[in-house]
Structure 1
């Protein structure tokens, strides 16, 4: 579809932005509709978004599909961990919530492999890459048709008999009185606190222990995002191409390798968390992220310092973008989404180069030649 840098960024950030908004709404939907309907809704959004993406004929439709998928991501992110925590046996609860993260990174790796396989279809390969995401969404939708609602949510809504029946079925008809009473007592305590002290967020901010926990938890998430590591993951193939990987397919497979390493170290994290503790593992992970980003930034800095000089500056007869002829080095030219570098090589050295506007109808072609 000849996407320039601006549209690539819109397609990536559109999904993330939609996920952020739907995650905010996900908490309300969870309380009103229940966990199961929300997961079914997310699966439906994933399927619809994949269909729109696969059938897209223009970049605007592609953006709509990405936004729809983002809405599904937000709802699922808010609902799935809650559902797992509420239906899992108490002794497996923490482990199953952690495994959810493991399967997310595993899914990212599998998706990268699928991308690599379809990268050999030059014309419509991207449609298969995006459209096939409907398959796991449909499987999840069909699977959840046979799964029960969260017993905790049912008790909150006063459906105690149904909650007891579902809890008994999930525990294999074992004695569930103790677990049922524990859930009910916790809910009653929460309702008393809400009625006496106002909104939950106000109580959390005014009670020092929960305020400190909230600051630490939200702070970790905030600084993880601000570090930019997700940007590196999203644009890993593009970064590899910027580093000199000319083959698009090779860049995609190397991005799959990045996703595989992410998956492997998630496994390592699951194994280490009970042996090293949360704090040491978090500090080690943040240190590794910082070192990786410093190396990446150093690479970009060195690349900019040895950027080939532009040797030819012919006048722009079309006057489409006069700024392109003002760049003196390759680095500045390539950072402008409206410009491209035409060059002549002598072995591995650039001996002649010009910065000229790109064709608006095809970003792979120049707007004019010489």
Structure 2
């Protein structure tokens, strides 16, 4: 040990310090921002499957599904205005994430979180009191702006606050909050079904509760040492780092943060810099990870689980109960990821989850193809329905311990300070773009592609699993300011990283402890 830093057996630096209660509580509070994203994902699908909601706002869909008995089950919810209700949020989040990047860098991570919570609260109130479709969609846009800000800032906050050895587990707290939000929404949808108009208003309006939680949380949280240094508060950053690590001996880690800041000051335009050759690996994965995350088809399940189950033959109560079951599986499987991500690494979870999703999607497609065929006029008996629910649960579990949490974790930890905020904005914007596309197109795709839709998504899961296997290096236990070394050691990406990008600490004379 020398100067507060040790080198582990793999040659990677590990700073002195311990995992403190302060950093655990801080990260848990910040991670609650995921509740607003998860609640919205879960609530919209349940509300849009309620007859009383459809009859008031989307009467064409309501009439179509009443007439769908014995007809094509794949197409009875196909309505562009209905999908716009769901997908408008994600288009707003896409645009907001770029503004969030500037706020996050100029005013700190917590300011973005605070703004996101406040705007989301406004959207929840507007939806809860909606009298027409226009009010609903305006509310959804406000919700999207709030999600754009929180999803841009919270993963960065968590990666910067957490010690490297448990960074994965703490960052996945954000995904855990998303899954808890989905589960809470599914529970509320189930009980709201029998409450008439009051039910859907309560369901939509209760989105204000997680918004209040993150708003209050952002008011009491400290900003990260990285952000404080970036904004010129170096002594405050040093004191906070001591509190986070539980030791006064933080000189080496602090020096590395300051060194990263000095390098970032040489970058006049982060958006221009992120396009340079030495940032090509990070930029590539900031684009393809969120793209692949959405093209797994997960949001087909999460947005439209009640609609999907209703489409394949479940009644109102049964469809919402099935969605509730998948929500419980989602939470439990995310907890598995928290336990495993820093023990087995990111690559292992990515690959195993991908293989499991491929198998389950193919079997679901086969079952639906056999039972409904191309015409969509068949039915599912009880055993078939139970099999579909079980397969969907296996699929959700695979996503929840792999591509779900890692889609937020990995992009947030691979960028240097000078491009971190811009990189996370790209991650969020790509995620929201394809979330919007999938949400807007799913019901039409289901009508046209029928059971083949599951084969379509399975094909993309094959591609993304192979991409991770060959091109994504392991980032477990690597301090985020040393991430260039990971790319330099990779067989494909090493030619993009010049030696001078490895940082001043690459040549430090440290002793093994």
Select which of 257, 282, 298 maps to 2:325: 257
Select which of 244, 250, 269 maps to 2:313: 244
Select which of 272, 281, 287 maps to 2:340: 272
Q: How far, CA to CA, are the matches of 2:375 and 2:300 in structure 1? A: 25
For 2:130, the equivalent position in structure 1 comes to 56
Q: Secondary structure of 2:220's partner?
A: coil
2:381 maps to 1:288: no
Query: Following TM superposition, by how much is the alpha carbon of 1:293 offset from its aligned partner in structure 2, in angstroms?
Result: 2.7
Distance verdict in 2 for CA 1:196–1:133, change over 3 Å: closer
Contact 1:116/1:253 (8 A) holds in 2: yes
2:369 maps to 1:298: no
Select which of 254, 270, 290 maps to 1:221: 290
Query: Following TM superposition, by how much is the alpha carbon of 1:335 offset from its aligned partner in structure 2, in angstroms?
Result: 5.2
For 1:149, the equivalent position in structure 2 comes to 223
Distance verdict in 2 for CA 1:56–1:197, change over 3 Å: closer
* Residues 99-108 or 8-17, more deviating: 99-108
Distance verdict in 2 for CA 1:114–1:36, change over 3 Å: same
Contact 1:229/1:289 (8 A) holds in 2: no
* CA RMSD, Structure 1 to Structure 2 (Å): 2.8
Select which of 259, 274, 286 maps to 1:201: 274
Q: How far, CA to CA, are the matches of 2:91 and 2:225 in structure 1? A: 32
For 2:257, the equivalent position in structure 1 comes to 183
The answer for unaligned runs of 5 or more in structure 2 is: 1-55, 62-78, 379-443, 449-513
1:73-92, aligned counterparts within 5 Å?
Answer: 73-92=147-166
1:105-144, aligned counterparts within 5 Å?
Answer: 105-144=179-218
Cα deviation 1:43-86 (Å, max 9, x = unaligned): 10121111001000111111111111111111111101111222
Query: Following TM superposition, by how much is the alpha carbon of 1:290 offset from its aligned partner in structure 2, in angstroms?
Result: 2.4
2:86 maps to 1:24: no
Query: Following TM superposition, by how much is the alpha carbon of 1:172 offset from its aligned partner in structure 2, in angstroms?
Result: 5.7
Contact 1:54/1:131 (8 A) holds in 2: yes
Distance verdict in 2 for CA 1:276–1:153, change over 3 Å: closer
TM-score (norm 1): 0.74
Report which of the two structures shows the higher radius of gyration computed on alpha carbons.
1
TM-score (norm 2): 0.55
Give structure 1 regions of 4+ aligned residues with deviation exceeding 6 angstroms: none
For 1:45, the equivalent position in structure 2 comes to 119
Cα deviation 1:167-195 (Å, max 9, x = unaligned): 44545674443432221122113334x26
Q: When you count strand as a share of all residues, which structure comes out higher?
A: 1
Q: How far, CA to CA, are the matches of 2:169 and 2:229 in structure 1? A: 24
Q: How many residues align?
A: 307
The answer for unaligned runs of 5 or more in structure 1 is: 310-331, 337-370
Distance verdict in 2 for CA 1:96–1:335, change over 3 Å: closer
Contact 1:54/1:130 (8 A) holds in 2: yes
Contact 1:109/1:259 (8 A) holds in 2: yes
Contact 2:128/2:205 (8 A) holds in 1: yes
Q: When you count helix as a share of all residues, which structure comes out higher?
A: 2
Distance verdict in 2 for CA 1:304–1:60, change over 3 Å: farther
Cα deviation 1:236-288 (Å, max 9, x = unaligned): 11010011112x23211211111221222222233333444332321221222
2:145 maps to 1:71: yes
Distance verdict in 2 for CA 1:278–1:170, change over 3 Å: closer
Query: Following TM superposition, by how much is the alpha carbon of 1:15 offset from its aligned partner in structure 2, in angstroms?
Result: 1.2
Select which of 301, 306, 313 maps to 1:232: 301
Distance verdict in 2 for CA 1:160–1:241, change over 3 Å: same
Q: How far, CA to CA, are the matches of 1:98 and 1:83 in structure 2? A: 12
